[in-house]
Amino acid sequence: MKENVLLQKNERIDQLYSQNIKIIQSPEVFSFSLDAVLLADFAQVKKSPKLKIMDLCAGNGAVGLFVSQKTNAKIAQIELQPKLADMGKRSILLNHLQDRMQMTTLDLADTFSKFAKDDFDYVLCNPPYFKDQAMSKKNPNPYLAIARHEIKTTLDQVLQVASGLLKMNGKLFLVHRPDRFLDIMDALRANRLSPKRVRLVYPRVNQEANMILIEAIKDGRDGGMRFLDPLYTYTGNSYSDKVKAILYGDK
């Protein structure tokens, strides 16, 4: 399939070299960030083709595409914004993954009109991070504003949907911001999700964490939450060895 057939105006194809995955992006609309790559790396998913994975708030499909290289499971994706969902659909075609990946343009509020409850083994989510407050400064680009602020959904709704989709003992993998940690913990437990693994991501040594990765289990037992070694994004002005390995595969 010719790549130029799949591209529209002001779009480009980027590649995650560690996995040979190509993704259609647009600087005018949306480009995946490091958080998507780190979430996909953090997610521990089994290889069985009998398993089912859901990628919520999928954007242009980056997280699901990256995870596709770790498993043979079926991967469904939900994205509210049609333009981003369309980019994700074309990226699925670009990577010849249409036999086991599907992008659906859908509001999270309508999830269960299309997908069955208690049907997924894993849910991945890179949701909007910031509360939609009247005084909060939002990106003037509406695509980015919706992706980053809780304009169309909320943390509680995201976790309610995730819990509804998961089978008992199914796992959620979430990336978010550390300053929402208490909100996240409250919302997880309110939605029958028990946090089990947590990893903080720091820009550099001696700087505050700016990202948090969380694994939770539906109807899991209380307790047993583990904090993994911290991940540092940079050493000096270059990516750290761990982040280089995730991005470029030089492990």
Looking at residue 118, which CATH number applies to its domain?
A: 3.40.50.150
Instruction: Single out the residue of 89, 96, 100, 92 nearest to residue 52, CA to CA.
Output: 100
Q: What is the pLDDT of residue 32?
A: 83
Mean pLDDT confidence for 104-123: 97
Q: What is the pLDDT of residue 123?
A: 98
Instruction: Evaluate if residue 29 carries a pLDDT over 90.
Output: no
- Average pLDDT, rounded, for the chain: 90
Residue 152's pLDDT band (boundaries 50, 70, 90)? Answer: low
For the chain, how big is the Rg over CA atoms in Å? 17
State both tokens at 16: 């995650």
Q: What is the pLDDT of residue 1?
A: 53
Instruction: Single out the residue of 102, 99, 74 nearest to residue 88, CA to CA.
Output: 102
Count: domains in the chain: 1
State both tokens at 158: 């995201």
Residue type, 125: C
Find out whether 170 and 122 touch, Cβ atoms under 8 Å: yes
Distance of alpha carbon 208 from alpha carbon 218, whole angstroms:
30
Distance of alpha carbon 114 from alpha carbon 49, whole angstroms:
21
Domain of 45? 3-248
Find out whether 79 and 85 touch, Cβ atoms under 8 Å: yes
Q: How far is CA 12 from the centre of its chain?
A: 21
Look at strands 12-16 and 21-25 and give their pairing. antiparallel
Q: pLDDT digits over 39-98, tens only?
A: 999 999 999 999 999 999 999 999 999 999 999 999 999 999 999 999 999 999 999 999
**Is the Cα torsion angle 24, 65, 215, 37 positive or negative in sign?**
negative
Q: pLDDT digits over 220-232, tens only?
A: 998 899 999 999 9
